[in-house]
Structure 1
Amino acid sequence: MKLSAYTKEFEYNIRLAWPVILGMLGHTITGIIDNIMVGKLGAAELAAASLGNSMVFIAMSVGIGFSTAITPIVAQHDAEKNVAKVRSVFHHGLFLCSVLGIFLFGTVFFSKPLMALMSQPEEVVVLAGPYIDWVAFSLLPMVIFQGYKQFADGLSLTKYAMYAVIISNVINIVINYLLIYGIWIFPEMGIIGAAIGTVVSRIFMLVYMHYILVKNEQLKIYFTNFSIGNMKKKMLRRITALGLPSSMQMFFEVALFTGAIWLSGYIGKSSQAANQIALSLASMTFMFAMGLSVASMIRVGNQKGLKDYNKLLLVARSIFLLAVLIEIVFATLFILLHDYLPHFFLNMTDTTLLAENIEVIKIASQLLLVAAVFQISDGIQVVVLGALRGLQDVKIPTFITFVSYWVVGFPVSLYLGLYTDLKATGVWIGLLAGLTVAALFLYLRFNYLTKKLIHQEA
């Protein structure tokens, strides 16, 4: 097939993906601003926020991964014009997300003692404990919000979540500024101020998302007859059968990056702070691929509902190509700016922190060179995963991600990080290895399934 056939799809792909990208990017940029604000307090505070967020992000990955099951099922039934099934998926999905949010909050809250068993710097652990208490609670509104978001995404209404995230991020930044540093009448709360900002902004995000969806005349039909008593085991099982493996896929990847944070903490405070800087920047560029992954999930889900498998393959490959091109641009920027970007995260005017900050910048600049390469693999694996979820194929991809990240990636990170002079850079080479293996085998899985569907149709 000619290249022009794929590039023709770029415009629609971007139109569907850009609200998702902007919303996710806004959320990530706020996280970066959080890190910059907290980083001004010192490397210990930045490392504490990194350690605390690592525990919360693991739980969040489970919640977000589970909620993605809603999107392809809604997209399929929307293409079939089946209003009753779309409503049923929405109600059951929202109920499951609510239960899961409560469970994840409790799990993180009671898991704090694990920090003491991970050989993390004592100063960092002491600062991270109270921070986790607040941020763990924010998981509840966050996961419920995901239920609304994935429903809207399945209907190709990707702008609503974008509005919710952007406005909530503005609220988060303002609260952070006031409470971290104690501006005006507000108390100086350090990293706890950042945690409170996260909680308040996520509660707002949920309230706003419910309000904007329920006020839409075309969507009101989906908000009728909601009752816990109407929950059906068949639909709960269907969503769970797709959502549980999806949550494990995201869990395996996020846990790998969390393992990198813990390994960096074991190496030292400077390595952990540098890891957080590089991870913040890599996460920002990764959001572009995440947005395209959602577009991939929606469009593949639609074509599955229409049973047009040749078009499905064309659409998916066009998104894969677009993701690779975008990530190559970012890789180039990381290579060109790797010595300059880390300076934005640290206070280089404070002479008492200057020596340790110079060390952090040196390590972070090296990590960005590895990140330049691995984000291409990361972009490929996430858009292919989106396409596989659109096909509602999750079991084998879950096995692929586990093997890639934990049989290949983490052992490489462990060995190179702790037993060679590469240290933090070695940890990130392990990330690169795991992501590359995942990208390769997930694509082979997608290619096999689509060829099989096309052959059956013929």
Structure 2
Amino acid sequence: MTSLEKIDRASVAPPASAAVPGRHLAIELAETLKLAVPLALTQLGQIAMMTTDLAFIGRLGSETVAAAALAHTVFFVAFTFGMGLVSAVAPLAAQAFGARDPRMVRRALRVGLWAALLIALPLMALPFRGEAILIALGQAPTAAGPAQQYLFGLAWGILPALWFIAIRGFMSAVNRPEPVLWITLAAIPANALLVYLLLYGKWGLPELGLFGAGLATSMVNLGTFLAGLWFTALRPPFRKYHVLGNIWRIDWPLMAKLAIVGAPISMAFLLEYGLFGAAGLLMGLISTTALAAHQIALQIAAILFMVPFGISMAATVRVGHAVGRRNSDAVRRAGYVAILLGATFMATMTLAVILGRFLIAELFLGEAVDATATLTATLLLIGSTFFVADGIQTIAAGALRGMNDTRVPLLFATFSYWLIGFTSACVLGFWTSLGASGVWIGLSIGTVVFAILLVLRFRLLANRLASP
């Protein structure tokens, strides 16, 4: 047995206290929190950078915010597909770590880096054609033109961002997600400074407008990837995996497995984010005010979503470890504890949003109470009805990914988000007097249905694992 195998066997061995009756749930909660807290903080850090961008852009007016919203819609359609594929690194590496197979752990990261490279270049074509796409979808040229400038800057950050996601999945799988958090915390002020300088043209730099804001984000993405690569290759405990050894050799069999697991994740992400992107397009058809209010309210929803999304990544790892150990009881505990943790957090934050919705609108739009601010507060009130369901669905989906179950959730996403959610949004938004509020009610209905289906699916598979 090599020293690497000895170290990894020791690192996945359950603590002695795990055998004490009555302490399993407490131990699982502690282990989940140990993973989830840095992952959730990392996600909050990333959304903080996006929120900073929006705050800076918002000072240029509602029309500019609307253009940025359209740009994000196009960009995330491209980025989300790659993100879902690379996200498969986490369950593959976690199962290998639980099975005490360090060589498979590093193979999972390597194949994730290769997959990101192969998929990123084609994905960049979409944001580069953003203006034409938006005009074809019925958006005004006056909004599509500035949106294209923002996309020209954002597109270059797709590849380093995907590489960073692969590294994050690897670090989480080996129970060491802290460096990703440190890197993200350092990136927040760097991003704010770069956006400020390039957007407004300060300190002698040219005023690049929305293109400068997008370019600043891409530069930060490159920096975070390089920092993550340094940790992975040179710092303990990651360097023992020698992830850059034979990096030029593509592991095609594992690449196929990653695609089998990751492609449905990509499609499910696209269906989910595509629904909210389509909602943005619907808002653009209603009015510029509706689109700007939607973007701000959606940004708040995204901020809240980052914590359960971090918990979902912890659930993927914890369930993956248990699957690798072939421990069905641990699989159930990991999934249910994570779901309960996320639901509790989101219920608390929902109350905070309801009470502070007018202050939130003021934060983005200033003290003046106009139609955009009023509609923003209304959408936040409506949106509070699905915040809890949104947290539950992402955590349940993460637990299912830990079992490599991604195809059935894809079918659930198609049914819930588009057959139910999008249809409801269109009917309530355009065939009733509800308008923008009706669109958000439709989003809520689809999200609740999806959450229920995923929890039932996890329960079914967990019970099957426990059956003799």
User: 1:171 corresponds to which residue?
Assistant: 190
1:423 matched to 2:413: no
Separation in structure 2 between the aligned mates of residue 162 and residue 274 of structure 1, nearest angstrom: 30
User: 1:223 corresponds to which residue?
Assistant: 243
User: Deviation of residue 153 (structure 1)?
Assistant: 1.6
The unaligned stretches of length 5 or more in structure 2 are: 1-20
User: 1:351 corresponds to which residue?
Assistant: none
360, 363, 372: which one aligns with 2:375:
363
User: 2:393 corresponds to which residue?
Assistant: 381
CA contact (8 A) 2:231 2:238 kept: no
CA contact (8 A) 1:97 1:146 kept: no
User: 1:313 corresponds to which residue?
Assistant: 332
User: 2:104 corresponds to which residue?
Assistant: 85
Separation in structure 1 between the aligned mates of residue 203 and residue 250 of structure 2, nearest angstrom: 49
Deviations 1:375-409 (A, max 9, x none): 11100000000000001111111111111101110
User: Deviation of residue 84 (structure 1)?
Assistant: 1.8
129, 132, 139: which one aligns with 1:113:
132
Separation in structure 1 between the aligned mates of residue 203 and residue 360 of structure 2, nearest angstrom: 31
The residue type paired with residue 397 of structure 1 is P
1:433 matched to 2:452: no
The residue type paired with residue 166 of structure 1 is L
Deviations 1:406-430 (A, max 9, x none): 1110111111112222111111111
Write out aligned runs for 1:286-325 (5 A): 286-325=305-344
Separation in structure 2 between the aligned mates of residue 145 and residue 156 of structure 1, nearest angstrom: 17
Separation in structure 2 between the aligned mates of residue 371 and residue 15 of structure 1, nearest angstrom: 30
22, 28, 35: which one aligns with 2:47:
28
CA contact (8 A) 1:6 1:317 kept: no
User: Deviation of residue 9 (structure 1)?
Assistant: 3.2
115, 131, 144: which one aligns with 1:125:
144
Separation in structure 1 between the aligned mates of residue 292 and residue 244 of structure 2, nearest angstrom: 49
CA contact (8 A) 2:421 2:447 kept: yes
User: 2:4 corresponds to which residue?
Assistant: none
147, 151, 158: which one aligns with 1:139:
158
CA 1:443–1:339 in structure 2 vs 1: closer, same or farther (change >3 Å)?
same
The residue type paired with residue 58 of structure 2 is G
User: Deviation of residue 371 (structure 1)?
Assistant: 1.6
73, 82, 87: which one aligns with 1:63:
82
CA contact (8 A) 1:49 1:131 kept: yes
Corresponding residue pairs, total: 447
Corresponding residue SS for 2:124: helix
User: 2:224 corresponds to which residue?
Assistant: 205
User: Deviation of residue 6 (structure 1)?
Assistant: 4.0
Corresponding residue SS for 2:202: coil
Q: Which moved more, 1:98-107 or 1:8-17?
A: 8-17
User: Deviation of residue 94 (structure 1)?
Assistant: 1.1
Separation in structure 1 between the aligned mates of residue 126 and residue 461 of structure 2, nearest angstrom: 37
Normalized against structure 1, the TM-score is what?
0.94
Separation in structure 1 between the aligned mates of residue 427 and residue 23 of structure 2, nearest angstrom: 45
Separation in structure 2 between the aligned mates of residue 285 and residue 217 of structure 1, nearest angstrom: 33
1:101 matched to 2:120: yes
Q: What value does the CA root-mean-square deviation take over the aligned residues?
A: 1.7
Separation in structure 2 between the aligned mates of residue 179 and residue 225 of structure 1, nearest angstrom: 38
CA contact (8 A) 2:319 2:399 kept: yes
User: Deviation of residue 218 (structure 1)?
Assistant: 3.2
User: Deviation of residue 11 (structure 1)?
Assistant: 2.7
Separation in structure 1 between the aligned mates of residue 416 and residue 96 of structure 2, nearest angstrom: 33
The unaligned stretches of length 5 or more in structure 1 are: 349-353
Write out aligned runs for 1:317-356 (5 A): 317-348=336-367
Q: Which moved more, 1:315-324 or 1:162-171?
A: 162-171
CA contact (8 A) 2:130 2:151 kept: no
User: 2:28 corresponds to which residue?
Assistant: 9
Separation in structure 2 between the aligned mates of residue 87 and residue 189 of structure 1, nearest angstrom: 41
The residue type paired with residue 81 of structure 1 is R
**Aligned sequence identity (%):** 28
CA contact (8 A) 2:90 2:317 kept: yes
Deviations 1:110-166 (A, max 9, x none): 343111022223321121111111112211211122122212122122112212222
Q: Which moved more, 1:412-421 or 1:105-114?
A: 105-114
User: 1:453 corresponds to which residue?
Assistant: 465
Deviations 1:8-51 (A, max 9, x none): 53332222111111111011112111111111110000011111
User: 1:270 corresponds to which residue?
Assistant: 289
CA 1:5–1:149 in structure 2 vs 1: closer, same or farther (change >3 Å)?
closer
Normalized against structure 2, the TM-score is what?
0.92
User: 2:272 corresponds to which residue?
Assistant: 253
CA contact (8 A) 1:77 1:305 kept: yes
Write out aligned runs for 1:140-159 (5 A): 140-159=159-178
Separation in structure 2 between the aligned mates of residue 55 and residue 154 of structure 1, nearest angstrom: 31
Separation in structure 2 between the aligned mates of residue 245 and residue 451 of structure 1, nearest angstrom: 23
CA contact (8 A) 1:293 1:385 kept: yes
User: Deviation of residue 189 (structure 1)?
Assistant: 2.6
Corresponding residue SS for 1:223: coil
Q: Which moved more, 1:29-38 or 1:376-385?
A: 29-38
Corresponding residue SS for 2:203: coil
Separation in structure 2 between the aligned mates of residue 183 and residue 29 of structure 1, nearest angstrom: 22
CA contact (8 A) 2:74 2:126 kept: no
50, 74, 91: which one aligns with 1:72:
91
